[in-house]
Amino acid sequence: MRYNLKGTICADEDAPIYRWFGLAAVSPSDIRQALADNPAGEEFVLEINSGGGSVYAGFEMYSLLRGAAVPTRAEVQSLAGSAASVVLAGADVAAASPVGQVMIHLPSTWTEGNQIVHRESVQMLEAVTGSIIAAYETKVKGKTSRDALRRMMDRETFLTAQEALDAGLLDEIIGAGAGTPVNPMNVFNAVGGAPDIEKLRAAYREAHADGGTPPAPEEMDKPVSNWNTARARAIALAEAEMDLTELL
């Protein structure tokens, strides 16, 4: 069975919000259900086309793959970036298209408060970084040292399929066979950032305040009701902070 992990990796409760705004998203419950639907004994193949997202959702997906009762295989078709690279590391076999890429970097978050609160965030981010490295270190099996993995994360590193294979983050390049290696909070691990989920949540709640139901897809572009207004406002707010064109 094949399942496509495409778009933002997000928490279960945020998936409906992303999808309502027309953004592709996958949550841990999607992976959990896909594994449950996978025929007994049949390999589960996860196609990855994602720049990452919620690091804790990525951790849960990683753990689901590691604990799956069936053989698991992850195939990077375009990009396994940030949290998606952690998910990749959870599969029994990690592969990529010759043009696929893997990107690893440090997690990020935002904090409001005094210096104590900010120090707590720094400590939390270091712990998250350690967990990410643990996933990579288990995958590479000594082909790349822990210190080297940390340096790659520090400078935000994009790896070609061959470079990821050499580093041990991949087991094979699709079509080339196995190569010989040369040697809880809003925490995001996503290439290029992600839409501001807090703004999306606010607009989503506003649109649902009257207890109504979403309009049919063919009605979404019509300038009627607060649904279209809230959707347009949230996208405009997000675009004011970042260019979403690469994420859509």
The set of catalytic residues is 82, 105
Tokens of 114: 């005094």
Alpha-carbon gap, residue 24 to 5, rounded angstroms:
9
> DSSP labels for 165-228?
HHHTS-SEETTTBPPPP----S-EEETT----HHHHHHHHHHHHTT---PPPGGGTTSS-HHHH
Q: What one-letter code names the amino acid at 73?
A: R
DSSP alpha helices (H): ranges in the chain? 15-20, 28-37, 55-66, 83-89, 115-140, 146-154, 161-167, 197-208, 225-241
Exposure of 54 in the CB half-sphere (CA atoms within 13 A): 21
CA 21 to chain centre: 18
Tokens of 22: 């027309």
